[in-house]
A and B are shown apart, each in its own frame.
Chain A
Amino acid sequence: GNSVTQMEGPVTLSEEAFLTINCTYTATGYPSLFWYVQYPGEGLQLLLKATKADDKGSNKGFEATYRKETTSFHLEKGSVQVSDSAVYFCALNRQNFVFGPGTRLSVLP
């Protein structure tokens, strides 16, 4: 079946550090790929998405590129802020959304 694997957390970084959260997937066919974020006390919200191979999704300084050859969708940000502290979920959609376990990011001032 379809599945998503993402790097274990928690991840703790200093402000302005570079962020990478790895995500790989297994799916039949060609799913769309998403990153969702859950800020403390809030619901899941879409951060970015990519719907076909080599597409790059971007939002709020975050980027991720759909790599079909490596079945990956790694999340990156060049300079994190304290306000980026949250749980990040990688997901695929192939008729239904399938989520990874989430990676908790803490950014220290």
Chain B
Amino acid sequence: EAGVVQSPRYKIIEKKQPVAFWCNPISGHNTLYWYRQNLGQGPELLIRYENEEAVDDSQLPKDRFSAERLKGVDSTLKIQPAELGDSAVYLCASSLTPLDDTEAFFGQGTRLTVV
């Protein structure tokens, strides 16, 4: 069975440009997360979906970040405009249930470099 698939793996853009990341979770996983991981740090939550509903977007910088999961399956995270400080690895994860004892499965991430 395929794991969580993210694309692209790497992206280099100039500041003020837009960028989008795509994630396809494991089939049947209704819970989807987007995390940001800065160099040498642990992942930090940006947004969590249950099906197509964003149930926690309190850490998403809404002035420049947006996300969607229109059909409750794959998801897109967008940044517009990008800033130098947005350089990081963006991780998508999914889990079978929203229960606390359920593990999250992570994709390999998209490494964004803003120059």
Q: Which residues of A contact B (CB under 8 A)?
A: 4, 31-32, 34, 36, 42-46, 49, 51, 89, 91, 93-102
| Chain B residues, CB < 8 A from A101 | 40-42
The verdict on A89 contacting B103 (CB below 8 Å), with A42-B108, A95-B98 known, is no
Chain B nearest Cβ from A57, distance in angstroms: 11
- Compute how far the CA of A36 lies from the CA of B40 in the bound complex, rounded to whole angstroms: 15
- Compute how far the CA of A46 lies from the CA of B93 in the bound complex, rounded to whole angstroms: 12
Q: Is the CB of A96 within 8 A of B41?
A: no
What mask results when residues 31 to 56 of chain B are scored 1 for a CB within 8 Å of chain A, else 0?
00101000011111100100000001
Question: What are 24 A-B pairs with beta-carbon distances under 8 A?
Answer: A32-B100, A32-B101, A43-B4, A43-B91, A43-B107, A44-B43, A46-B103, A46-B105, A49-B103, A51-B100, A51-B101, A89-B43, A91-B42, A93-B100, A94-B100, A95-B56, A95-B98, A96-B48, A96-B56, A97-B33, A97-B45, A97-B104, A99-B42, A101-B41
Seed contacts A46-B105, A94-B100, A95-B56; 6 additional CB < 8 Å A-B pairs = A43-B91, A43-B108, A45-B106, A51-B100, A97-B43, A97-B93
- Compute how far the CA of A108 lies from the CA of B107 in the bound complex, rounded to whole angstroms: 29
Q: Is the CB of B103 within 8 A of A34?
A: yes
- Compute how far the CA of A90 lies from the CA of B100 in the bound complex, rounded to whole angstroms: 15
Chain A nearest Cβ from B101, distance in angstroms: 4
The verdict on A95 contacting B40 (CB below 8 Å), with A43-B107, A43-B108 known, is no
